[in-house]
Every structure is written in C-alpha cells, then in structure tokens.
Amino acid sequence: SGEALLRMVHRVLEIARMSSDNEPRKRQLLEVTAIIGTEIDKMRKVAERHSISLSFHAGPEPLYIDASDYEFRLALTELLDNAIKYNCKDGHVGVSLSSTEDEVMIRIVDTGIGLAGKDAKDALSAFCGKCGSQQCKGLGLGLTLVALFATALGGKLSIEGGRASGTAILLSLKRVLQD
C-alpha cells in the first residue's frame, strides 16, 4: 500500500541521516516512563485489532535520558510495532522499565514467532529478509533504525536469546540522574 511504501522510504531516510551523523537531531532531557506510557497507549488500537494485549511495568521513580524526543518515540514505536506484527493471535507484549545508576533499560517481550541465534543477529541488519522461521513482513529496517539510535546515544540494542517462543528485546540507554 501507499502508506507502507511511505513508511519504508521514511525509515531509509532516517537510517541514512543517522548513519551519516551530518544532521543530529536536537537532544533534550526526556522523562522515559511517561513517554513509554504514551507510546503504548498509541499502539493499543493496533494491538487490539490483532487480539494482542499490552502491559507496562515501571517503578515509581522517574527516569531520564538525554535524547531527541522524535527519535526516542520513533524507536519505541518500531519496537512495539515489531512485537505486535510478529506476535500470535491472543498474544501479549510486555514492556518493563528498570535502571541502574548509569543505565535505563527498556525490555520488550512478546509471545510471537521468536528470534534466535543467527536470525537474531541478522535482524539487526537492514534488509535482513527473514525473521525466525517465517519471512519478514517488512524489510528489516525497524531494528536497524533502533540500533543506530541506541548507538548514537552510547547505548545498545540487543535481542535476548534462548527463548522457546517469542522475542525479548533490550534497549539500554545512558541514564541522566536528576537531583
């Protein structure tokens, strides 16, 4: 569809921009818990259309990062979209937020088709062409975009292996402590 093509072009342009580092987006102090909650609420209708439930668990303490609001929201949307898109009917997507003194960790776990071994590594490369044992429903640009975002902030995106089903993604970003 035209909308899917437009999203693909947008992702390719974002990957090119982030890879070139010529036009960094304006960074600001972001309160992570509230933004994640908002992005999950935006994805609820999409999840409900696929009979997938969403949950979010975070502690009471506000957590902050220094990032572009646009890029952070885009990264969250990509991760949530993948967790929904590659899930099973009546599946679940759980998002949890935790921290150390130095890091904010966002973990997204789904009950979908899963990624393991080489497929998990390949999924972080653009145009990977396959996810798990099934063909991708996209071009493999979303996780590439999120990985570039994380790297630009001194963070990391990883796919946790060893799962019998589903996928667990961990986005770790540098934490900014507030007085």
**pLDDT on residue 29:** 96
Q: Say if residue 154's pLDDT is above 70.
A: yes
**pLDDT on residue 160:** 81
- The amino acid present at 76, given as its one-letter code, is L
CB atoms within 10 A of CB 38: 12
Mode of pairing for the β-strands spanning 64-67 and 28-31: antiparallel
| Cβ-contact 111, 88 below 8 angstroms | yes
Instruction: Dig out the tokens for 90 from the structure.
Output: 């009546």
- Report pTM: 0.80
Beta-strand (E) ranges in 48-127? Answer: 53-58, 64-67, 92-99, 103-110
**pLDDT on residue 105:** 97
Q: Tell me the per-residue pLDDT of 45-55, one tens digit each, with 9 for 90 and over.
A: 999 999 999 99
Q: Tell me the per-residue pLDDT of 53-108, one tens digit each, with 9 for 90 and over.
A: 999 999 999 999 999 898 899 899 989 998 998 898 899 999 999 999 999 999 99
**pLDDT on residue 173:** 95
Average pLDDT over the chain, rounded to whole?
A: 81
